[in-house]
Amino acid sequence: MRLICDIARDILRDWKKPNFAARPYLEAMLWLDNKDDLYGDDRASSVVAYFLSNAGTYRGETAKRLKAELKSHL
């Protein structure tokens, strides 16, 4: 399983204009390795879940693959 931060970097490379609501969670994921990490007081699993719930406009084959990788962290 790849690190959350590696997946987030791939998303940033692929998603040229991230949704304003998803962007803060995407940026937070750059600091996370796995679901048990903390970002401030938030568990990584929560950050990932919030990102996924706000990333509905991120579409395509790459998006599906990367979102599936993130879901595996939940």
pLDDT digit string, tens, across residues 11-64 = 999 999 999 999 999 999 999 999 999 999 999 999 999 999 999 999 999 999
pLDDT digit string, tens, across residues 4-20 = 999 999 999 999 999 99
Alpha-helical regions (H) of 1-74: 4-14, 23-29, 44-54, 61-71
CB burial of 31-49 (b: ≥16 within 10 Å; e: otherwise) equals ebeebebebeeeebbbbbb
Q: Which residue has the tokens 């395509």?
A: 60
The domain total for the chain is 1
Enclosing domain of residue 64: 4-71
